[in-house]
Structure 1
Amino acid sequence: MSSAVDRHAATLARDGWCVFGRAVEPRLIAGIEADLNPRFAATPLCQGAFYGERTKRFGSLLTRSPMIERLAMHPMVLDIVEQMLLPWCERIALNLTQAIEIHPNALPQLPHRDQDMWQGPKGGLEYLVNVMWPLTTFTRENGGTRLWTGSQFDQNVPALPEDEAVVPVVVPGDVLIFLGSTLHGGGGNASAAPRRGIVISYCLGWLKPFELQWLVYPPQVARHFSPELAALVGYVQHRPNLGNVEGQCPSILLGDHVPDHLAAVDALRPDQAEAAAMFVRSQMGELS
């Protein structure tokens, strides 16, 4: 398992994307698609040139199908994502869960890098990793995801020739993983049937996510999640003291009773805790 994670992570770092074949059983994907069918049918087409006016999108997938947790918490996928992101944060966070249906005659999507939603410096760190789970087989003809291999290394280039894009063929059960710094876009659908997929993305734990997780999964919803999933959607502090509620871990909101009065409790990195303790000791020494 460790060698497979390292191999896929190395490919992801080198090419900007990788395919992890047969990550889950196809019947799991079929069950998820069955759960999502009514939502696909009821969701209107998007508006705007970026989202695509022949495309449907909807989020909040952890409340749409109980099986989505199996994808969001896939151990090997999380290990690969953490190899890419943990150098720049203490813990990763869920950035987005979104179902996408590209209809026949849809145009190709504008090539873009998802990290550009944040206006921080680019090139020295990764902000997010995208994980695409196909519900139907992705091909070039039906609008499979276009990727520009190696584009993560020159992020000042806003576009590259269309004929340099690759479109991996991925089937239900496979997973396509690509960096937020990789130039990509949905393809145009020249087939007679819609192309369906799920994207689950993970970002640095200190970023504001694309999909505002705490509103999408408020405490009355998140208290039914496993502790690990609740932490991933944001019910945990990111040291030092980031994302707290009255100075405490926001997981306190998931209990049966939230006290009206709480004591703020430090949540510092070890180096910060030691620096603070040393300062207090020095001050105590001056007073004695």
Structure 2
Amino acid sequence: MKHEPISSAAQPHIDILMTQGYCVVDNVIPAAVVQGLASDLGGCFAATQPSQGPFYGADTVRFGGLLDRSPLSALFVQHPLIVEIVEAILGPWCNNIQLNLTQAIEIRPGAQQQVPHRDQDMWPVSRMLPCDHGAEYLVNVMWPFTEYRPENGSTILWPGSHRRRSEDLIAPDQATSLEIAPGSALLFLGSTLHCGGANRTAAARRGMIVSYALGWLKPYEIQTLVYPPEKARRFTPDLARLVGYQIHRPNLGNVEGRCPSELLGGLQQNGAVDALAAEQIALIEAFHAQRPAC
């Protein structure tokens, strides 16, 4: 990935995110756009059956594939400030980032608190390496459709828990739950302990989570199946790359040895084409430089 200078708009949020494991970016999308997206997804909320299992929770509704359900969702997924912050966090550990998930979530009245967890733990490697290695695998972005408040199930977070990765559970009195308005975004690291809160009100809490991961990981939601070529051809090239139609150097995630973006044009050519990172090119050049001339 190209490491561009970080803007003055992004840097304070990056600093807070890396210090406490989460941050709120206020008023980044007009409330009318949020209302439009929520309206587009209203029928899906009504038609989707409640979740099953002790992790998702019986009184929640969840569905993905949001880029295919509303054209407004791309404005959130590709928000320039949010993407800049995410790339600054994940960029040191990958050649490019990828979209990991888009999921609409409704926490209904009476829903219990979710079990605390770290989202990065879905990848076993995150628990195999020393806790202080510093790598981040994932950044979550929570977009409220309704007001998020502690009493209606706002996300519960444990400040500084990204520095305490060996602790699966931390005392409840060390947690916080924020009030967040539609149009603002809550960002938190995949290494931050968190959970959905209990909804003790008479109204549902609705919102959307968008998450981004290192480009070399298997994503939570298999984007190229959710958005196969016939759908992804309607995306802008940048969005198509973000959902997975992009090779991760060196040569990872190819189709017939070529970048999967070529699928969107029909893959007219054949024959493998290298896509190497700078360090692989340097190693190859060093190897050839030490060989005796023929």
TM-score (norm 1): 0.96
2:53 and 2:185 mapped to 1: Cα distance? 28
1:94 and 1:123 mapped to 2: Cα distance? 25
Residue 282 of structure 1: CA displacement?
5.6
- Select the residue among 33, 37, 42 that pairs with 1:37: 42
Residue type of the partner of 1:182? T
Residue type of the partner of 1:262? N
Matched, 1:252 2:262: yes
Aligned residues: percent identity?
A: 51
2:60 and 2:280 mapped to 1: Cα distance? 48
2:281 maps to which residue? 273
Comparing 66-75 with 271-280, greater Cα deviation is found at 271-280
| Matched positions, count | 284
Matched, 1:96 2:101: yes
Within-5 A mapping of 1:104-253: 104-120=109-125, 121=129, 122-124=131-133, 125-253=135-263
1:235 and 1:28 mapped to 2: Cα distance? 27
Residue 270 of structure 1: CA displacement?
2.0
1:2 alignment partner, SS class:
coil
2:104 alignment partner, SS class:
strand
2:237 and 2:71 mapped to 1: Cα distance? 15
2:202 and 2:47 mapped to 1: Cα distance? 20
Residue 221 of structure 1: CA displacement?
0.6
2:288 and 2:172 mapped to 1: Cα distance? 60
1:4 alignment partner, SS class:
coil
1:281 and 1:247 mapped to 2: Cα distance? 27
2:23 and 2:267 mapped to 1: Cα distance? 44
What CA deviation, in whole Å up to 9, does each residue of 1:127-169 have, x standing for no partner? Answer: 1000000000000100000000001101111111222211110
- Over the aligned positions, Cα root-mean-square deviation in angstroms equals 1.3
What CA deviation, in whole Å up to 9, does each residue of 1:41-95 have, x standing for no partner? Answer: 0000000010000000000000010000000000000111111111111111100
2:190 and 2:278 mapped to 1: Cα distance? 30
2:258 and 2:13 mapped to 1: Cα distance? 37
1:9 alignment partner, SS class:
helix
In structure 1, list runs of 5 or more residues that go unmatched. Answer: none
